[in-house]
Structures are given as structure tokens and as C-alpha cells.
Structure 1
Amino acid sequence: GVIFVGHIPHGFYETEMRSFFSQFGKVTRVRLSRSKKTGNSKGYAYVEFEDVDVAEIAAETMNNYLMFERLLKCELLPSDKLHPALFHGSHRSFSKPKASSLSIDRHNSVK
């Protein structure tokens, strides 16, 4: 089962999320949405649990949970609504693009 987690506070990233949600059951995958340009969190994530019942309990428990002065929004996603590439690259840690390569690409682009 997969849950959507919204309104994530700053500093609550993949490793913290995995360890926090493991109190409910086995977490198989975590995908935190990040900006491609800056690498900062966009404030929402998807957490996949091994068992659907555990995911449902976690979503109910964590919905409107106050964490670091932010109310988390959690909901269980139906399996037919999940995109096949939702967790693509979730096993890798995020590496921010180098500013020098971004400026080179911007300079060399056709105007």
C-alpha cells in the first residue's frame, strides 16, 4: 500500500521519513519529491508499505499530525491510480546539479 504525505516540514527527508514510518510496519520504498534545479524538497512524498492494512493505519494515524509546526496530510492511494514510474530512482540519493554546468548550458543555449 502507498500513502501520499503532504505538507512535509523542512528537514524531514528520506532517511528520517523511512525511520519514522517504520514504526507502523515495513517500509519498502520512499520517494520525496525534489526540485531538479535546487534539490530542495517540494513538500510532499510517497511512502510504500509492504502491507496494505499497515498503510491504511499509517495514513489514518498521521493525517493532521502536527510535526514541526506543520500539519501533515496523509491519504492512502488506491493501487489502480499509481503510475508505474512513481518510485523510479527512489533507491538513489539525490545529487544536486552543479551550478557551473547549469550556467554553461544556459550560456550555450540557442536564443
Structure 2
Amino acid sequence: MKLLVRNLARTTTEQEILTLFSAHGTVNECSLVLDKETGQSKGFAFVEMADADEANNALKSLHHTTLASNKIRVKLVQD
């Protein structure tokens, strides 16, 4: 399942997101979206988890939690 993580601080790293989601299960892929011109974070990322139960648990547990002083939002990506 693919999850969208929004409202990330511009200083949040891909490793921090990976660590946060790995506490809830196996993360297949984590990609922080960067601006092509500046290389700066755009404030959102995609996290892919193979197990649907783990992904749903991560979504429920992490939606509206605080990371780097920002209240993050986690949503399921609809294909």
C-alpha cells in the first residue's frame, strides 16, 4: 500500500520518515519529494509498505502526530 505523508517540515529527511514508518512494519520504499531546481523538500513524501495491515496501522497511528514541530497528515494513495 502506498501512503502520502504531508505537512512535513522542510528540514525533515527521508531517513527520519523511514525510521518513523519502520516502527509500524516493513517499508518497501520511501521517497521524499524534492524541488528539482533547489533540491529542497517540497514538504511531502510517499511511503510504500507491502503489508496492508501494517500500512493501515501506520496510517492510524501516525496521522496528526508531530514530527519536527509539524503535525503531519497521512493518507492512503488511490491508484
Deviation per residue, 1:79-99 (Å, 9 max, x gap)? xx1xxxxxxxxxxxxxxxxxx
Find out whether 1:28 has 2:35 as its counterpart.
no
RMSD: 1.1
SS in 2 for 1:74: strand
Task: Give distance in 2, aligned partners of 1:73 and 1:65.
Answer: 8
| Offset, 1:6 | 0.1
Deviation per residue, 1:43-101 (Å, 9 max, x gap)? 001000120111111111111112222110001223xx1xxxxxxxxxxxxxxxxxxxx
Q: Counterpart of 2:19?
A: 19
Structure 2 residue runs of 5 or longer lacking an equivalent are none
How many pairs align?
A: 79
**Large movers: runs of 4+ above 4 Å:** none
TM-score relative to the length of structure 1: 0.66
Task: Give distance in 2, aligned partners of 1:21 and 1:8.
Answer: 14
- Identity, in percent, stands at 28
Say which structure is richer in strand: 2
8 Å CA contact 2:8, 2:72 repeated in 1: yes
Letter in 2 for 1:61: S
Letter in 1 for 2:58: A
8 Å CA contact 1:31, 1:47 repeated in 2: yes
Q: Counterpart of 1:40?
A: 40
TM-score relative to the length of structure 2: 0.90
Task: Specify the structure having the higher radius of gyration (Cα).
Answer: 1
8 Å CA contact 2:27, 2:47 repeated in 1: yes
8 Å CA contact 2:12, 2:68 repeated in 1: no
